[in-house]
Amino acid sequence: MLIAPHLRSLGAIRLTDVKVQAMSVFDEPKIDSHVHLTDPDRFPFNPAVAYHPRGQEIGTLEQMREMMASYGIRHSFLVQPNSGYGTDNACLLDAIASDPARFRGAAIVPNDASRDHLAGLKAQGVIGVALNPSLMGNDHYADAQPLFGRLAELDMLVNLQVEGDQITQYAPWVRDLPVRVLVDHCGRPALDRGLSQTGFQTLLDLADTGRVWVKVSGYPKFSRQRVPFTDCWPYVEALKERFTADRLLWSTDWPYLRAPDRQDVGVLLRLAERLFPDAGERRRLFWDTPAALFGFDAPH
């Protein structure tokens, strides 16, 4: 065995003398459970949609691939954005088709979308439908309970972004229908109302269904602070206690649509390391839980 010249003076080296450094959080295999694609050059924005992303909010498939490669992200769950596209899922479907083993998605559809329409999307790698009451309001989804039922029949997800107490409208549907629900961004609690607020307690109570998962992400959407968003930490701890890492997922929310401040994937990974310091727990958060939910293979 060749020994580097600068090591010869140290004498014989035994393998037991060498401390193997733990894998960096940046290299740990992970699945990003919430990203958006915005590519107006290839897929023009819908002029009828009120908000069009621009500048640093633009995130193309090629840019996303580079971001993923930089941070050990091997798969992504693409969430159709209301911004720019609305129910035009062409950009999302194109990305999934480019590498169906690597990407899954949640589309936006009308509340009255037929079973055949949903099945057609599922055949293209769409495994869920994104509902965004935090933007559209609860009234927009007042007639969506049958959609929950059709998604349950097809074994597809409801990807639900709510804030405050909005989740109380959907909790009875989730309990009555055998649908799997993925809640965005810790449920976006109103931090001035504390852990006992109705909406957050409703979310915690849904853990007992065994069919609800929560993304620990999107802190700028409900925090009143900048990084490291310490006012959000008690809510993450409460979610960890009730859901455990078997029902929690990590995500970047890249490319940070409508973010009030600068965001960075690396900073979010370090924050995940602080909130989930146990490597085994992080493995479940980053990989095991989303891989099982989205249907991805084990990392090589």
Residues 6 or more apart in contact with residue 79 via CB below 8 angstroms:
34, 35, 36, 105, 106, 130, 159, 184
List residues bridging with 104 in a β-sheet. 77
> Please, what is the average pLDDT of the chain?
93
Which residue ranges make up each domain of the chain? 27-294
Order of strands across the sheet that contains 73-79: 30-35, 73-79, 103-107, 126-131, 157-160, 180-183, 212-216, 248-250
Q: What is residue 297's predicted lDDT score, i.e. its pLDDT?
A: 83
Radius of gyration of the chain (CA): 21
- The SS3 assignment for 265 reads helix
Q: What is the pTM of this model?
A: 0.92
Nearest 10 degrees: CA dihedral of 86, 88, 91, 97? 130
- Tokens 């390391």 belong to residue: 273
Rounded average pLDDT over 232-244: 98
Tens of pLDDT, residue by residue over 62-103, are 999 999 999 999 999 999 999 999 999 999 999 999 999 999
What token pair was written down for 225? 């602070």
Q: Which CATH superfamily is domain 27-294 in?
A: Metal-dependent hydrolases (3.20.20.140)
